[in-house]
Amino acid sequence: MTTSKWLAISAACLFGTSAQLRAEGSDISSYFCVVEASGGVAYNANMKKWVGMTFNPDGKFVLRLRQLSRRSEKNAFGNDEAVTDYNISLTEFGSSTARTCEKIGSADPTVTVYGDKALYCADATTDYVFNITANRFLASDMRGYVFGKNESSEDYPSISAGTCTKIE
């Protein structure tokens, strides 16, 4: 099969799938996100204390937002505000397994966003804040320090910042 035929068939399949999703009322957006800066605290065994550190920025993933509903609600000032509910999933670069990013502090998979504000969600170890309008995110992992662990580099508290680019 020639490259042009393969591209034409692929485009037709993609268009058909996208049209079907729209026809079913689903609104799905995907973003490719890359960690650009990371820091936190780490235990220095020589000094026998925790110290501030800059970590190697590492991490690429796909953020997938599935819009469940959109409505209007009164905000704290009595004004109408757009409210959108999403299911959010994250897939690490190179993986085919997505993990759910849930409402922070609960096991509720529905994340509610008021107005055009940021999306807040969490997986098993990390809290995330996404601003898809500004194409930025923060990720924080607070394990380790407060639990008295000193040796495991996987348990160093950290915060990472990065950017997301819309891919679909």
Q: In the chain, what are the domain boundaries?
A: 26-166
Nearest CA among 93, 115, 119, 90 for reference residue 104: 119
Look at residue 17 and give its three-state secondary structure: helix
Q: Is the pLDDT of residue 3 over 50?
A: no
Q: Is the pLDDT of residue 53 over 80?
A: yes
For 77, the token pair is 């000032």
Q: Does 60 or 50 have the greater pLDDT score?
A: 60
Residue 125 CA to residue 130 CA, distance in Å, equals 16
When pLDDT is cut at 50, 70 and 90, the band that residue 153 belongs to is: low
When pLDDT is cut at 50, 70 and 90, the band that residue 85 belongs to is: very high
When pLDDT is cut at 50, 70 and 90, the band that residue 162 belongs to is: very high
Q: Does 14 or 150 have the greater pLDDT score?
A: 150
| 123 touches 144 (CB < 8 A) | no
| 160 touches 138 (CB < 8 A) | yes
Residue 37 CA to residue 120 CA, distance in Å, equals 19
Q: Is the pLDDT of residue 64 over 90?
A: yes
When pLDDT is cut at 50, 70 and 90, the band that residue 76 belongs to is: confident
What are the pLDDT digits (tens) for 14-37?
333 333 333 344 699 999 999 999
* Long-range pairs of 101-104 with CB within 8 A, sequence gap ≥ 24: 101/128
CB atoms closer than 10 angstroms to residue 94: 7
Average pLDDT, the chain: 82
Q: Is the pLDDT of residue 10 over 80?
A: no
What are the pLDDT digits (tens) for 100-135?
999 988 888 999 998 878 999 999 889 999 998 999
The fraction of the chain above a pLDDT of 70, given in percent, is 80
> Between the ranges 107-111, 135-139, 145-149, where is the mean pLDDT highest?
135-139
**Torsion angle, alpha carbons of 157, 159, 160, 164, to 10:** 130
